[in-house]
Structure 1
Amino acid sequence: MWMPRVILLIVGLNTVITLGSVVFGYLYLRPDKSAGVEHEQQAGEAPLVQDPENYVFYPVEKIVVNLRGEDREHYFVLDLALQGDAKQSVSAFKQADLLVRNAVVGSLSTLPFIQLRALSLIDLQSRLEADLRKSFSAKGLDIPFTSVLVSKMLVQ
Structure 2
Amino acid sequence: MTIKTFSLGLVIALIAAIFAAVLTVLGTHLLSQDENKSSMISQFFASSDESFVEFVEIKNVVVTLKSRGDSERYLLLALALTTDSAADTHRAEELSPAIRGATVTLLSAMDYDAVREMSVEDLRGMLMNAYTERMKSLKTRMPFKDVIISKMVFQ
Structure 1 segments of 4+ aligned residues over 2 angstroms from their partners: 86-91
Q: Give the equivalent residue in structure 1 for 2:94.
A: 95
Q: TM-score, normalised by structure 2?
A: 0.65
**Aligned-pair identity (%):** 26
Unaligned runs of 5+ in 2: 1-47
Q: Which amino acid aligns with 1:62?
A: N
Q: TM-score, normalised by structure 1?
A: 0.64
RMSD: 1.5
Q: Note if 1:66 corresponds to 2:61.
A: no
Change beyond 3 A, Cα 1:79–1:50: farther
Find the aligned partners of 2:49 and 2:62 in 1 and give their Cα distance: 32
Q: Give the equivalent residue in structure 1 for 2:118.
A: 119
Unaligned runs of 5+ in 1: 1-48
Find the aligned partners of 1:84 and 1:50 in 2 and give their Cα distance: 17
CA-CA distance at 1:142 after TM superposition: 1.6
Out of 58-67 and 88-97, give the one that drifted further.
88-97
Q: Deviations over 1:86-106 (max 9, x none)?
A: 343432122111000000000
Instruction: Determine helix, strand or coil for the equivalent of 1:100.
Output: helix
Q: Note if 1:75 corresponds to 2:74.
A: yes
Q: Deviations over 1:25-52 (max 9, x none)?
A: xxxxxxxxxxxxxxxxxxxxxxxx863x
Contact (CA 8 Å) 2:89, 2:143: kept in 1 or not? no
CA-CA distance at 1:115 after TM superposition: 0.4
Change beyond 3 A, Cα 1:147–1:89: closer
